[in-house]
C-alpha cells in the first residue's frame, strides 16, 4: 500500500510559480507539477521522493542521498511577482467579463508588483555571474530564507578569505552615491543616495543580514562582510565604488574582483554546509 503522504500527493497545474522542493528547479505558473498536501510543497514531476518496487505498490524511501537542492537566484522574488500579478488579475476578472478584460488590456501592473519582477531579474543576473566563481575555493548560496522571518538573503558567498553577504539591487541607470554630513563639530552621518533619493535603509538591511550570518557562524573565526551590488546602475568611468558603515557598495565586476582577491584558510565546504543548514532555500 502507498504511504499516507504519497497518497496525498496531487498532480496539477500550478496556479502560482514555485520551486521544486527536491531539485530546486523553477516551476512556472501553469506548469504540470506534484502538490504535496502533507507538507504544502511542490515538486517537479520528474523528481520522485521514493522508488516503487516492481510488481508491487510498495512505497519505499530512496536509499541513496540526493545532492543538495540547486539554488535558483531570484526564485522567491519571482514567485512573489507571479502571486501578486495573479491576484490582481483574478480580482479584476471578478468584474463583468467585458469590463474586466478591458481593464486588464488597458492597464499595467502597479509599481509595487513590477518591482518584484525587476528585483528577481537583478538577482538572477548577479547570480549567474557569481556561479562563474564556484570552485573548491568559492561556494555560493542563492535566495536563502532567514529563519523565523519572511525575509531572505539574495546571495551568500563563502571564500577562503571569509563570507560575503550580498544584496542585489537593480536600479537601472541610477547612480549610487555616498553623502556625508557632519564629522567635525557634529556627528558624522553617512547616507546612501541612489538616483538622488535616500536609500540608506538598504545599508541597514544588509547590516541586519550580516549579523544573522555571524550568529549562525558562532564559534567560527571567520570575517563576514556585507555587500550592496547594484546591477545595471549608472556608474562613473573611474572610481564610483565606496564603503559605508562597513558595507561595500559595488557593481558586479567589482564584486568579482573582491572575490578573486579573497585569500585565506577558511574551510569553504564546512562553512557552506553550516550556512546551508541554517539558511534554507527561500
User: What's the CATH code of the domain at 187?
Assistant: 3.40.1350
Q: Which of 27, 43, 61 is the last residue of a domain?
A: 61
Element (H, E) at 41: strand 41-44
What radius of gyration, in Å, describes the C-alpha atoms of the chain?
22
Same domain, 12 and 144: no
- The Cα–Cα gap between 220 and 260 comes to 22
In a domain, 95, yes or no: no
Task: Give pLDDT tens digits along the chain (282 positions).
Answer: 444 445 567 888 877 777 776 666 777 777 888 887 766 677 887 765 543 333 333 333 333 434 444 577 888 887 877 888 787 777 766 766 656 566 556 666 677 777 778 888 889 999 999 999 999 999 999 999 999 998 999 999 999 999 999 999 999 999 999 999 987 888 899 999 999 999 999 999 999 999 999 999 998 889 999 999 999 999 998 888 999 999 999 999 999 999 999 989 999 999 999 999 999 998
Give 163's contacts (C-beta < 8 A, 6+ positions apart): 156, 157, 213, 217, 222, 223, 224, 225, 266, 271, 275
Same domain, 139 and 254: yes
Q: What pLDDT, on the 0 to 100 scale, is given for residue 83?
A: 80
Q: Which of 61, 91, 108 is the last residue of a domain?
A: 61
Q: Which domain holds residue 23?
A: 4-61
In a domain, 90, yes or no: no
Give me the number of domains the chain comprises.
2
Q: What pLDDT, on the 0 to 100 scale, is given for residue 206?
A: 98
In a domain, 107, yes or no: no
In a domain, 244, yes or no: yes
With cell 538591511, the residue in question is: 205
Q: Which of 61, 83, 110 is the last residue of a domain?
A: 61
Long-range CB pairs of 233-241 (<8 Å, 24+ gap) are 233/171, 233/172, 233/173, 233/174, 233/175, 233/176, 233/194, 234/173, 234/174, 234/175, 234/195, 235/175, 235/176, 236/175, 240/175, 240/176
In a domain, 44, yes or no: yes
Amino acid at each position: 500500500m502507498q504511504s499516507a503522504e504519497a497518497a496525498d500527493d496531487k498532480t496539477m497545474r500550478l496556479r502560482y510559480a514555485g520551486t521544486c522542493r527536491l531539485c530546486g528547479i523553477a516551476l512556472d505558473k501553469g506548469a504540470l507539477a506534484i502538490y504535496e498536501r502533507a507538507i504544502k510543497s511542490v515538486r517537479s514531476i520528474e523528481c520522485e521522493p521514493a522508488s516503487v518496487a516492481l510488481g508491487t505498490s510498495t512505497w519505499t524511501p530512496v536509499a541513496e542521498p540526493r545532492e543538495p537542492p540547486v539554488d535558483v537566484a531570484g526564485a522567491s522574488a519571482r514567485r512573489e511577482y507571479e502571486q501578486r500579478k495573479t491576484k490582481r488579475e483574478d480580482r479584476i476578472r471578478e468584474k463583468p467579463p467585458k469590463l474586466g478584460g478591458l481593464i486588464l488590456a488597458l492597464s499595467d501592473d502597479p509599481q509595487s508588483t513590477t518591482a518584484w519582477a525587476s528585483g528577481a531579474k537583478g538577482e538572477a543576473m548577479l547570480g549567474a555571474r557569481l556561479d562563474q566563481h564556484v570552485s573548491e575555493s568559492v561556494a555560493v548560496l542563492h535566495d536563502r530564507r532567514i529563519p523565523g522571518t519572511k525575509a531572505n538573503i539574495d546571495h551568500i558567498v563563502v571564500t577562503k578569505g571569509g563570507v560575503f553577504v550580498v544584496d542585489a539591487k537593480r536600479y537601472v541607470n541610477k547612480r549610487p552615491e555616498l553623502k556625508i554630513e557632519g564629522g567635525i563639530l557634529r556627528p558624522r552621518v553617512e547616507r546612501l543616495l541612489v538616483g538622488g533619493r535616500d536609500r540608506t535603509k538598504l545599508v541597514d538591511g544588509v547590516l541586519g543580514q550580516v549579523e544573522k550570518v555571524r550568529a549562525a557562524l558562532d564559534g567560527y573565526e571567520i570575517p563576514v562582510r556585507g555587500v550592496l551590488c547594484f546591477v545595471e546602475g549608472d556608474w562613473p568611468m573611474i572610481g564610483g565604488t565606496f564603503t559605508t558603515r562597513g558595507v561595500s557598495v559595488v557593481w558586479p565586476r567589482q564584486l568579482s574582483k573582491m572575490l578573486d582577491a579573497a585569500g585565506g584558510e577558511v574551510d569553504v565546504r564546512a562553512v557552506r554546509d553550516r550556512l546551508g543548514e541554517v539558511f534554507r532555500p527561500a
